[in-house]
Amino acid sequence: MATLAGPSRLIGAPIKRREDPRLIQGLSHYVDDLKLVNTLHCAFLRSDYAHAEIENIDTEAAKRLSGVVTVITGEDIREKVSSVPCAAEIEGLKIPNHPALAVGRVRFVGEPVAAVVATDPYIARDALDLIEIEYRELPVVVDMDKAIEPDSPVIFEEFGDNIAFTMPLDAGDVDKAFAEADHVISHRLVNQRLIPIAMEPRGVLAEYLRGEGTLTVWSSTQIPHHLKTFLSLLVDFPEHRIRVIAPEVGGAFGSKLNVYAEEAVVAYLAIQLGKPVKWIEKRGENFTSTIHGRDQINYVEIAVNNDGTITGLRAKLLANMGAYYQLLTPIIPVLTYLMIPGAYKIPNIKLELIGVLTNKMATDAYRGAGRPEATYIIERMVDLAAQKLGMDPKDIRFKNFPQPDEFPFEIPTGIIYDSGNYQETFNKALGIINYDDLRDQQSARRKRGKYVGIGICTYAEISGFGPSIGVAGGGWESSTVRIERTGKVTVLTGVSPHGQGQETSFAQIMADELGVDIDDIAVIHGDTGRQPQGIGTFGSRATPVGGTAMLIAGRQVKDKMAKLTAHLLEANPDDLVFENGKIFVQGSPAQAVEFATVAAAAHNAVNLPPDIEPGLEATHFFEPEKFTNPFGAHIAIVEVDPDTGEIDIQRYVAVDDIGHIINPLLVTGQVHGGIAQGLGQALYEGAVYDENGQLLTGSLMDYAVPKATQVPSVENDYTVTPSPANPMGVKGVGETGTIASTACIVNAVVDALSPLGVKDIEMPLTPNRVWQVIEDAKKGVSE
Amino acid sequence: MKIKGEYTVSAAPARVWEYLTHPEYLQQCIPGCEGLKSIGDDAYEAVLNVGVAGIKGVYTGIVKMENKQPLLAYRLVVEGASKIGFINGFCDFTLKENEQNQTGVKLDGKLNVGGKLARVGQRIITGAAKMTIGKFFKGVEKLAKSGAIPLESI
Amino acid sequence: MSKKVINTKINGTNYTAEVEPRMLLIHFIRDVAGLTGSHIGCETSICGACTAIVDGMAVKTCAMLAIQADGAEINTIEGLAENGDLHPIQEGFWECHGLQCGFCTPGMIMAASQLLERNPNPTESEIRHGLEGNLCRCTGYQHIVNAVQYAAQKMQS
Amino acid sequence: MIPGSFEYIAPSSVDEALALLKENGESAKLLAGGHSLIPTMKLRLAEPEVIVDLNRIGALKGISESSGTLIIGALTTHYELETSDLAHRKIPLLAQTAAAIGDVQVRNKGTIGGSLAHADPAADWPAAILALDAEIKAVGQGGERSIKASDFFEDLYTTAIDPEEIITEIHVPIPGANTKGTYLKLPQIASGFALAGVAVILTQVENICQNLAVGVTGVSSVPYRAAGVESDLRGKAFSSDNIAAAAEKAVDGIDDVLEDIHASEAYRKNLAKVYTRRAIESAAS
């Protein structure tokens, strides 16, 4: 296992997590586990219609129900709660007003229309059934191809059409590349809509203390600091009197990288009613009204020469926004656009990205956010090219990789890949799976009538978000490191982990840096009252950006401590070693001073050198100069049952390069989870709306989150190409698995069926769909 | 959801036409129909109490008949809403005399289901729709077997 | 509707309360007994986050009425560690990184405890089948399988 | 997540339960394992006014043997059947079918009687019950009656049980010598219900099919016996060709094949055939 170079004790070690004892004993506190005295309970009534005028809302019967405190509608709060925010800035972007509760018109199934507050959640639920709403149905827009036609019904009349924005790119000489290419391969690829399904649904608890004039909001969020700012704007409450706490958060995958209507309404109600108000999302609401992911249709062409060199790429990308924007909705497909050449040198690229409004829930960041789509596009196209050329999919990849000495490597979309050695990683994966023999085994098994496929995905991604110019709302991160009087170390970080384990990995980094026991370090996060500034956890940024902010803050404190120690020991600060809770002059461990003694001295402040202030605390804001670019190679072997279309994944090898590894246990956990989600997209998951905008997969009975029996065991390995983007050389690992696995699995299944002439199958590859493709192929039905 | 089907009724088209279009007969045949009140030309306010698997809903809505071509074809349009969701759609009925005193009725239509029912009832909806139509034609056949005569001629 | 008084013993402690018949057992455990380790992750009794052991059987406590548990003995995640010593399954989850966000973990551990009680030496496939009633969105299950294997080994020795 | 209000009564005898059904009529609903009913109530797709909980009626539980028949109390759980020594020894198909249902928690709580009464078209039990020629005993105001499995399932979620009747027992004849059974299914991956499930019971003497029963669930709105398959193979050798040819008849005469977002009509028909073939092959091997 790779580790940071140098004498370190904990970085690189598979330390078990410090957050686990509370979690495995049921002692942690998610929002719904927090109980405040006199809490009122909120429930939302949501639209059953995808597009309709609200003709009348009658809340009288609900208000009369014993235990109901209030019922509010969009009309009641239209002047009091402002538009649900979107932070995206794109030239020409049409931004609709997004009321927290619908006013006049509903535009997707699940849009909140009214809110009930009652003394008990059971009563709040009962009251919903007593609200009568009259709707007048309007034509529904669900299909992106139709939505951009001039005769389509329009969702926002003020816009004139359903096109949210268009974004062109023309790099190199694409027309020439296509004119001169030996082959042009065209394909329509669909990246279906997914539903994130964090196991903990969303939840909000808000408390307004009239005397103190403070508003405290506990929310299951990835971005407590952003939420604080936006809440102040949403409910017109001074930001410096708001405290947002993300307590234990039960997974998010991007779905809680947002500011939601319910957060605003609950905060508003708590202020109005003067009592704590709690709302806990039901799973059904989570399906309709928490953001969805993916949902792109891509018309792609690549130009390729006989030797496998890809010379050009042309694509029209249709990205489904949904009816309104959430925080980053329009930005997500921009990442697809930026990352479209994947791990390959493609000099000529022409793109048109079109954001499309439809009567569906908003899409937004779902694990990978725009990048699995890009990987899917390029990895499918590369395989189609190999198929067309009769080339081994391995060879076409090597043919088009940049060479290791070409890094930093700029791709035509303007992204500069930080570091890489794609050949090494791919070779390692090929070696583990024994690729050379594999193709022979495949032919032998094919002769026995088996449909065996080998799927490859070699990806490069954009991670470690990121330079502020590339991240709406800022891409920096902030951390404060404080050494308490007793020598205990408090790390405050602006990232907001919700399963990733930074209470452990950050403590590893800091323990090595300060030479103290890991148990003497507490990593505190998710509370704007404790950590004054921060951005949050998303985009595989916590370690490369947040970890770096912490490391630098820690070094600043350490420098100060060294100065003080040097003063106490009458030594040169540069000669000091921090180790095992002691500080000593290099080579003289016997004359060590206790770390805690120096900490006390800093706080007692009676013997400080003249240029040193009391206390030991430093805050650092780290602004990354560039993104990081993890990469890797995933290879899967599948067998397809031709009679039923069932898919058996027989091996799955993942070799990832995420730069230096802080904690291999946690890293592998991230890769496993990512692969399960990417594989979920490939095989099982898909949000289905009917032509009337009704969500047909509105529960776990119909939307398949992979179960233990439905995912394979993964063989993991790594290569280490340090990132130059940060001092630790880390790249980030949160999304690699998701980015790689979808294309890997689909490539494998298509490869398995290639003897039948199959070139593509639309995801998810359900047994029914695979069987149908086989049947059609057997009958010679062309695509 | 598409609705397609073919049913045979043991009566001549003239009678079957009556069974399929006369509100009193319709009320007898539509499963769970608790009332059909005329609100204009071939339009009725309906109360339907239908459900399967304990998932019952009382739907109030409108039933209309359009494009009537007596003894040959018409379109039945329904819309209804209940606490658990709403339905709307249409079905074109085409009648054809198969043999003496036997009429084939062809169905071709579309049913939209919305609300909670659509979101969580996917496993049930299609089957339930088929079952409801099946019950409807069982009712029609029962009328035919009982020899119920066109009400106009009473 | 008429409320009824029910008695249950959860993790060895008696809880008596007057409840509406419609109160779900998971709400009783969380809101009446105040044991919030068992979670609510779905409405359709698929996810298993609310799994507890009721009279020796792992059940989804969101698919059971509190009133049905009148007189029952219930074990939840909070009762698994004894005198501060983690149960081997808890240990396994910790050692093998069998959890990330932790939300599914209590239900997963309770389901695993039923699995190992019935089959002390399960194969990987038996472990995966035994946990089919519990969804995890974070781990991809591989480390959970490792955790159960760890516990099986530890419990046998 | 929160059901509507209802009255709850947990009778301790079948007679008491019957009286409650009579008293409350259609507003009452029987509660057995609850895995279909309670989620439906939580979603408020169903709002019964009275819940009659059968779980305290001891007489409805247990598995026993009597003159060549296994008698299974309606409230016997799937788990009890999955692990019943008696079932394993006498009718392993019952244990095998039980093991294929849902997940551990569902099997711990769910009951055979509840499942049959609910008559979900994709439930697992109907296939086995049909193949085994079981009889369902029910009591009502007019006393006890016995319903053949083949007469039991009438329509989607509709059985021959009257609203004021209660299923008490399932009587399953113990198959004779040289008889083997298999249940195979392809589950819908989210819900675990069968896209197609086929239960086979066959008797073979020297590789000749003496008798064959094929129960199919998940494919049609009513689970059925694949009579065409059975008659085709009876008297023939269990060769792959014969089995394959017979299995082609797995949906003969079935005109209401289910279709939903998970599986098309054509696919379900195909599954019925493939799983019939595989189930027969497995049982015959």
Residues C133 and C67 in one domain: no
Q: Last residue of a domain, which of C78, C105, C136?
A: C78
Q: Looking at chain A from residue 644 to 673, which residues have their Cβ under 8 Å from any Cβ of chain C? A: 665-666, 668-669, 672-673
Question: What per-residue confidence (pLDDT) applies to A1?
Answer: 33
- Selecting from A644, A701, A772 the residue whose C-beta is nearest the C-beta of D186 gives A644
Q: How confident is the model at residue A493 (pLDDT cuts 50, 70, 90)?
A: very high
User: What mean pLDDT is predicted for residues D32-52?
Assistant: 94
C-alpha separations of A91 from A88, A286, A297, A357, A471 in Å: 10, 31, 22, 16, 15
Question: B-D interface: how many C-beta pairs under 8 angstroms?
Answer: 58
Residues A741 and A675 in one domain: yes
d(CA D148, CA D60): 19
Interface test with D, best of B55, B58, B120 (most D CBs within 10 A): B55
D264 part of contact set with chain A, CB < 8 Å: yes
Residues C59 and C92 in one domain: no
Question: What per-residue confidence (pLDDT) applies to C1?
Answer: 66
Residues A461 and A605 in one domain: no
A702 part of contact set with chain D, CB < 8 Å: yes
User: What mean pLDDT is predicted for residues A675-702?
Assistant: 97
Q: How confident is the model at residue B154 (pLDDT cuts 50, 70, 90)?
A: very low
Is A157 a member of any domain?
A: no
C-alpha separations of A473 from A221, A226, A230, A536, C3 in Å: 16, 8, 11, 11, 52
Residues D277 and D204 in one domain: yes
Q: Last residue of a domain, which of A606, A622, A638?
A: A622
Token output for A564: 């003080």
Residues D66 and D41 in one domain: no
To the nearest whole angstrom, how far is the Cα of D261 from the nearest Cα of chain C? 18
To the nearest whole angstrom, how far is the Cα of D145 from the nearest Cα of chain A? 35
Residues A601 and A540 in one domain: yes
C-alpha separations of C3 from A27, D34, D79 in Å: 30, 20, 32
Token output for C42: 């779905």
Q: Is the pLDDT of residue A783 over 60?
A: no
Q: Is the pLDDT of residue A573 over 70?
A: yes
E-state strands within B15-151: 33-40, 43-52, 55-69, 73-82, 85-99, 102-114
For D222-260, write each residue's pLDDT tens digit.
Answer: 999 999 999 999 999 999 999 999 999 999 999 889 999
Is D124 a member of any domain?
A: yes
Residues A219 and A100 in one domain: yes
d(CA D89, CA A84): 64
E-state strands within D19-142: 28-31, 50-53, 63-66, 69-73, 135-140
Q: How confident is the model at residue B151 (pLDDT cuts 50, 70, 90)?
A: low
Is C52 a member of any domain?
A: yes
Q: Is the pLDDT of residue B153 over 60?
A: no
To the nearest whole angstrom, how far is the Cα of D72 from the nearest Cα of chain A? 29
Question: What per-residue confidence (pLDDT) applies to A9?
Answer: 85
Residues C54 and C11 in one domain: yes
Q: Looking at chain A from residue 221 to 250, which residues have their Cβ under 8 Å from any Cβ of chain C? A: 248-250
A391 part of contact set with chain B, CB < 8 Å: no
Q: Is the pLDDT of residue A668 over 90?
A: yes
User: What mean pLDDT is predicted for residues A652-674?
Assistant: 98
User: What mean pLDDT is predicted for residues D93-104?
Assistant: 98
Q: Is the pLDDT of residue C102 over 60?
A: yes
d(CA D167, CA D149): 13
Is C73 a member of any domain?
A: yes
A705 part of contact set with chain D, CB < 8 Å: yes
Q: Last residue of a domain, which of C78, C113, C143?
A: C78
Nearest residue of D to residue C2, measured between CA atoms: D7
Q: Last residue of a domain, which of C78, C112, C131?
A: C78
- Selecting from B86, B113, B120 the residue whose C-beta is nearest the C-beta of A699 gives B120
Strand order from edge to edge, sheet including A348-357:
A163-171, A348-357, A310-322, A293-304, A183-194
Q: How confident is the model at residue C157 (pLDDT cuts 50, 70, 90)?
A: confident
Is D115 a member of any domain?
A: yes
d(CA C95, CA A333): 39
Nearest residue of B to residue A48, measured between CA atoms: B115
State whether B120 and A702 contact (CB < 8 Å).
yes
Question: C-D interface: how many C-beta pairs under 8 angstroms?
Answer: 92
d(CA C120, CA C135): 22
**Three-class SS state of B77:** strand
Domain that holds residue A322: 293-466+626-778
> Mean pLDDT for chain B?
88
d(CA A652, CA A650): 7
A120 part of contact set with chain D, CB < 8 Å: no
**Contacting residues of B for D43, CB less than 8 Å apart:** 116, 120
User: What mean pLDDT is predicted for residues C78-98?
Assistant: 97
Is C83 a member of any domain?
A: no
Q: Is the pLDDT of residue D283 over 60?
A: yes
pTM for this one? 0.97
E-state strands within chain C: 4-10, 13-19, 51-54, 57-60, 73-75
Q: Which of B136, B57, B59, B60 is nearest to B91 (CA)?
A: B136
**Contacting residues of A for C36, CB less than 8 Å apart:** 26, 29-30, 32-33
A704 part of contact set with chain D, CB < 8 Å: yes
Look at B145-149, C29-33, C149-153, D61-65 and tell me which has the smallest mean pLDDT: B145-149
Is C21 a member of any domain?
A: yes
Q: How confident is the model at residue A340 (pLDDT cuts 50, 70, 90)?
A: very high
d(CA A712, CA A704): 16
Question: What per-residue confidence (pLDDT) applies to B152?
Answer: 54
State whether C76 and A19 contact (CB < 8 Å).
no
Question: A-B interface: how many C-beta pairs under 8 angstroms?
Answer: 42
Residues A512 and A615 in one domain: yes
Beta-carbon contacts of residue C128 (< 8 Å; ≥ 6 apart): A708, A709, C141, C145
Question: What per-residue confidence (pLDDT) applies to D268?
Answer: 98
A753 part of contact set with chain C, CB < 8 Å: no
To the nearest whole angstrom, how far is the Cα of C66 from the nearest Cα of chain A? 14
Domain that holds residue D237: 179-284
Look at A486-495, A518-527, B126-135, D188-197 and tell me which has the smallest mean pLDDT: B126-135
> Mean pLDDT for chain A?
97
Look at A349-358, A635-644, B16-25, C82-91 and tell me which has the smallest mean pLDDT: B16-25
**Contacting residues of A for C95, CB less than 8 Å apart:** 16
User: What mean pLDDT is predicted for residues A105-131?
Assistant: 98
**Contacting residues of A for D274, CB less than 8 Å apart:** 643-644
- Selecting from D8, D41, D104 the residue whose C-beta is nearest the C-beta of C67 gives D8
Token output for A471: 């991240």
Nearest residue of A to residue B1, measured between CA atoms: A690
Q: Is the pLDDT of residue D145 over 50?
A: yes
C-alpha B49: how far from its chain's center? 14
**Contacting residues of A for B116, CB less than 8 Å apart:** 48, 284, 698
D242 part of contact set with chain C, CB < 8 Å: no
Q: Are strands A593-594 and A582-585 parallel, antiparallel or unpaired?
A: antiparallel
**Contacting residues of A for B122, CB less than 8 Å apart:** 696-697, 701-702
Residues D102 and D203 in one domain: no
State whether C132 and D104 contact (CB < 8 Å).
yes
Kindly report the CATH number assigned to the domain that includes residue C47.
Answer: 3.10.20.30
To the nearest whole angstrom, how far is the Cα of B46 from the nearest Cα of chain A? 18
Q: How confident is the model at residue A7 (pLDDT cuts 50, 70, 90)?
A: low
Residues C99 and C39 in one domain: no
User: What mean pLDDT is predicted for residues D149-176?
Assistant: 95
> Are A223 and A535 within 8 A, CB to CB?
yes
Strand order from edge to edge, sheet including A617-622:
A521-524, A489-493, A477-483, A617-622
To the nearest whole angstrom, how far is the Cα of A154 from the nearest Cα of chain C? 35
To the nearest whole angstrom, how far is the Cα of A737 from the nearest Cα of chain C? 10
Interface test with B, best of A283, A696, A697 (most B CBs within 10 A): A696
Is A543 a member of any domain?
A: yes
**Contacting residues of C for D106, CB less than 8 Å apart:** 45, 60, 133
Kindly report the CATH number assigned to the domain that includes residue A97.
Answer: 3.90.1170.50
Residues D130 and D37 in one domain: no
Residues D87 and D19 in one domain: no
Bridge partners for D237 per DSSP: D208
Residues C16 and C46 in one domain: yes
Is D52 a member of any domain?
A: yes
Kindly report the CATH number assigned to the domain that includes residue C117.
Answer: 1.10.150.120
Q: Last residue of a domain, which of D118, D138, D173?
A: D173
Phi, psi (degrees; rounded to nearest 5) at A100: -65, -35
For A391-414, write each residue's pLDDT tens digit.
Answer: 999 999 999 999 999 999 999 999
Q: Is the pLDDT of residue D266 over 90?
A: yes
Look at chain D and report how many structural domains it folds into: 3
Q: How confident is the model at residue A8 (pLDDT cuts 50, 70, 90)?
A: low
Q: Considering chain B, what percentage of its residues have pLDDT values greater than 90?
A: 47
- Selecting from C46, C78, C103 the residue whose C-beta is nearest the C-beta of A30 gives C103
Residues A112 and A206 in one domain: yes
Residues C17 and C73 in one domain: yes
Residues A410 and A450 in one domain: yes
State whether B114 and A284 contact (CB < 8 Å).
no
Is D245 a member of any domain?
A: yes
Is C151 a member of any domain?
A: yes
> Are A504 and A17 within 8 A, CB to CB?
yes
Is D207 a member of any domain?
A: yes
For B2-50, write each residue's pLDDT tens digit.
Answer: 888 899 999 999 999 999 999 889 899 988 888 889 998 899 999 988 8
Residues A537 and A558 in one domain: yes
Angle at the Cα of A640 from the Cα atoms of A637 and A642, rounded to 5 degrees: 160
For A468-479, write each residue's pLDDT tens digit.
Answer: 999 999 999 999
Question: What per-residue confidence (pLDDT) applies to B150?
Answer: 58
Look at chain B and report how many structural domains it folds into: 1
Question: What per-residue confidence (pLDDT) applies to B55?
Answer: 77
Token output for A775: 């049947």
Residue A299's CB: how many other CB atoms inside 10 A?
15
User: What mean pLDDT is predicted for residues A586-606?
Assistant: 96
State whether C137 and A253 contact (CB < 8 Å).
yes
Look at chain C and report how many structural domains it folds into: 2
Kindly report the CATH number assigned to the domain that includes residue D164.
Answer: 3.30.465.10
State whether D274 and A643 contact (CB < 8 Å).
yes
To the nearest whole angstrom, how far is the Cα of D192 from the nearest Cα of chain A? 8
Q: Considering chain B, what percentage of its residues have pLDDT values greater than 70?
A: 95
Q: Last residue of a domain, which of D173, D191, D221?
A: D173
Mutual angle of helices A422-433 and A393-400, in 10-degree steps = 160
Domain that holds residue C44: 4-78
Interface test with A, best of C83, C97, C108, C124 (most A CBs within 10 A): C97
Q: How confident is the model at residue A781 (pLDDT cuts 50, 70, 90)?
A: low
State whether D48 and B54 contact (CB < 8 Å).
yes
